[in-house]
C-alpha cells in the first residue's frame, strides 16, 4: 500500500514548450467548447494549457491516458473530482502565466495561485471577506509593498482552505482567520482547526498557497515542475 503523500505540481503557462501542443489535444469536447467561449486568444491559451496540464499530470495517478480521463462534474459543494474508485484527490488553481495542481492519495487538498499586482478593489475585499484579526493586521502594516505582501499572503491561504473544503467563495470567509496573535501581540500565520496551510513563491510575480485537511502535523508536500518532471514521475514508483 503506498504511503500517504501530498504532491504539488507547478506549471509556467507562459513559457513556450513543445509539451503544450500535445497537452491541449487531450481536452474533452466540453473543455474545448468552454475554451472557445473565452473572448481573447490569451484567455483561450491560459485555459487550454491549464487544463491540458491537469490532464497530463493526473493521467499517471489514475493509470489512464490523459485524454481518457473523466473529470466528474462538481458534486460536493462545487469541487471537481475523479470518479470513484480513483485513489487521489486534487485541486487546480491557475492565473495568466501560472498554474498549481495539488494531489494527494489520503487527504483533501486545496491550492491557490495569485498574480502579485496592485488591486483596485483590495480594500473592499478586506472589509467583506477578511476576519477581524486579519483586518487589524493590515491596518497596522505600512502601505505599498508590505501591505500588498500581507494581503496576498492572507488571501491565498484563505482561498486554498476554502477550495480544500470544496466550498470556494460560498464559505463565510470573514468567519475564519489565517492569522493569530503572537506572544508579543504581533500577528503570526495560523490555520483553522484540522487544516495545515503552506505559502510559497510560485514563480516570478506569483504567490501560492496549499491547504491540507486532516493530515498529521508536519506534512511536507513534494514539489514537481511540469513538463520537466513528468517523464521522471511516470517512470518512478511515485511515492
Percent with pLDDT over 90 in the chain: 73
DSSP letter for 19, please: T
Q: Are 205 and 12 in contact (CB under 8 A)?
A: no
- In 3D space, the residue among 172, 138, 171, 140 whose CA is nearest the CA of residue 154 turns out to be 138
User: What domains are there in the chain, each with its CATH number?
Assistant: 1-107+219-239 (3.90.470.20), 115-194 (no CATH)
Place of cell 484563505: 158
CA–CA separation, 113 and 159 (whole Å):
9
Residue 158: Cβ-neighbour burial (10 angstroms; 0-12, 13-18, 19+): buried
Q: Kindly report the pTM of this predicted structure.
A: 0.92
List, for residues 72-117, the tens digit of each pLDDT value.
766 545 677 887 777 899 999 999 999 999 999 999 999 999 999 8
Amino acid at each position: 500500500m503506498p504511503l500517504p503523500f501530498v504532491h504539488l505540481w507547478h506549471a509556467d503557462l507562459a513559457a513556450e514548450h513543445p509539451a503544450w501542443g500535445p497537452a491541449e489535444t487531450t481536452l474533452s469536447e466540453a473543455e474545448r467548447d468552454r475554451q472557445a467561449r473565452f473572448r481573447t486568444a490569451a484567455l483561450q491559451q491560459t485555459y487550454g494549457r491549464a487544463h491540458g496540464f491537469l490532464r497530463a499530470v493526473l493521467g499517471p495517478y489514475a493509470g489512464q491516458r490523459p485524454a481518457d480521463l473523466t473529470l466528474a462534474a462538481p458534486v460536493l459543494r462545487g469541487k471537481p473530482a475523479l470518479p470513484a474508485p480513483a485513489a487521489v484527490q486534487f485541486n487546480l488553481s491557475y492565473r495568466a502565466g501560472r498554474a498549481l495542481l495539488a494531489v494527494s492519495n489520503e487527504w483533501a487538498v486545496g491550492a491557490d495561485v495569485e498574480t502579485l499586482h496592485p488591486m483596485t478593489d483590495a480594500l473592499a475585499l478586506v472589509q467583506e471577506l477578511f476576519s477581524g484579526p486579519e483586518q487589524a493586521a493590515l491596518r497596522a502594516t505600512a502601505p505599498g509593498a508590505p501591505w500588498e505582501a500581507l494581503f496576498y499572503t492572507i488571501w491565498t491561504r484563505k482561498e486554498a482552505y476554502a477550495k480544500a473544503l470544496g466550498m470556494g467563495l460560498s464559505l463565510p470567509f470573514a468567519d475564519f482567520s489565517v492569522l493569530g496573535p503572537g506572544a508579543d501581540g504581533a500577528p503570526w500565520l495560523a490555520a483553522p482547526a484540522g487544516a495545515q496551510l503552506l505559502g510559497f513563491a510560485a514563480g516570478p510575480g506569483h504567490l501560492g498557497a496549499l491547504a491540507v485537511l486532516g493530515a498529521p502535523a508536519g506534512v511536507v508536500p513534494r514539489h514537481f515542475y511540469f513538463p520537466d518532471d513528468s517523464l521522471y514521475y511516470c517512470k518512478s514508483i511515485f511515492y
